[in-house]
Structure 1
Amino acid sequence: LGVFREAAHDEVDLLAVVDRIERSLARNLGHDDFVTAIVAGYPRAGQLEVVNCGHTPPLLVDASGSVTAVEPAHPAPPLGLRALTGHTPRLQALPFADGDQLLLYTDGVTEARDGGRAFYPLAEGLERHVSHEPGRTLDALHDELLAHVGGRLHDDAALLLIRKPAAHEAERPRAAAPGPLAAASQASCS
């Protein structure tokens, strides 16, 4: 995370950020270690850029509430394993219109199991709870996830929901509006 923060500040694009993280991890990880990641950016109005490095796909929610897994168009290996594959990551451009949302999550969410050993169905949960208020969506997913596992997770889990406000929403002043994706919310589950 520290390498990402430094690289994101210094590098001009996402691929350079990913390359820098890869170099750092190659120096610091053991030969059997790796990190899955999704690195995303918002370079211009109406478009997200995503680099998927071996991670489960984020979930895109369009303004109508339809949920779609963003399967990588150009799959890349997890960070720390590029030297074994020689595969170079590539950017994937996604439309990101007013009202669209992108849910990023850790595997602790999708690998959470109930008493019968069934995995938590995140896409279905998102479809049930999606709203125009990211905090409300995340609260509902968090509550449902904890109910699914009987109240206690056995792995760390995090959810990050980014929403592109509609033009009429962006006109309203917001106390913490750092940019066009100001309606982002995060929930950590423990």
Structure 2
Amino acid sequence: MDIPDDEPVVRLISCGHPPPLLLRGPARTALALTVPEPSPPLGLGVWPADAHGTDSAAGCYAPATFPFEHGDRLLLYTDGVSEARNADGDFYPLAERATAWADKAPGPLVERLAADVRAYAGGRLNDDLAMIVLQRDRTAS
């Protein structure tokens, strides 16, 4: 991920990661930033430099660009969050829950979501649980 200071965008390369959620606007809509052409997992798409010293895999790690404006937030998470299941086997509704509590500051939002995932799964997490929320606080120049 690259968030330039001078542009209202975020550039993403996906190597099989869950798509970040863009939380936007007063209603805090949630939009999955799905990279249209995912790259191979890290380490699997890199080959030795060719005879000219250029990396022959450089082209397979091409970023996709998405708007990321003042006040927008990005929720990044591991698959342990999105694949957590309740007793009926239903996946955790991350976008719905993130939208419901998006009025909270980034730290409390992560704390609320983490507690909710644990409760939803009945305390039985079968994978890692990691989240971070990034917020653009100033307008790009």
Bucket of the pairwise TM-score, normalised by the shorter protein: 0.7 to 0.9
More helix by share: 1
2:76 and 2:41 mapped to 1: Cα distance? 16
- Alpha-carbon distance in 2 for matches of 1:53, 1:113: 24
Counterpart residue identity of residue 46, structure 1: P
Identity across the alignment (%): 37
Could you give the per-residue CA deviations for residues 85-132 of structure 1, whole angstroms, max 9, x where no partner exists? x77121111211111000110011111111111111111111111125
Tell me if 1:68 matches 2:31: yes
Q: Is the CA contact (8 Å cut-off) linking 2:72 and 2:136 kept in structure 1?
A: yes
> Which residue number corresponds to residue 107 of structure 2?
135
Superposed structure 1 runs of 4+ greater than 6 Å apart: none
8 Å contact 2:118–2:125 — kept in the other structure?
Answer: yes
More relative contact order in 1 or in 2 (CA 8 Å, sep 6+)? 2
Count of equivalent residues = 128
SS in 2 for 1:98: coil
Query: Does residue 78 of structure 1 match 2:41?
Result: yes
Runs of 5+ unmatched residues, structure 2 = 48-56
Native 8 Å contact 1:109 1:158 kept in 2: yes
Residue 105 of structure 2 aligns with an amino acid whose one-letter code is E
The match for 2:19 among 53, 57, 63 is: 57
Offset of 1:83 from its aligned partner?
Answer: 6.1
Contact 1:74 1:89 (8 Å CA) reproduced: no
Q: Mark the CA change 1:99 to 1:132 in structure 2 (over 3 Å): closer, same or farther.
A: farther
**Structure 1: runs of 5+ lacking an equivalent:** 1-39, 168-179, 181-190
Give the whole-Å Cα distance in 1 for the aligned partners of 2:30 and 2:87. 27
TM-score of the two chains, using structure 1 as the length reference: 0.61
Output the aligned Cα RMSD. Answer: 2.1
TM-score, normalized by length of structure 2? Answer: 0.80
Map of 1:79-118 to 2, 5 A cutoff? 79-82=42-45, 88-118=60-90
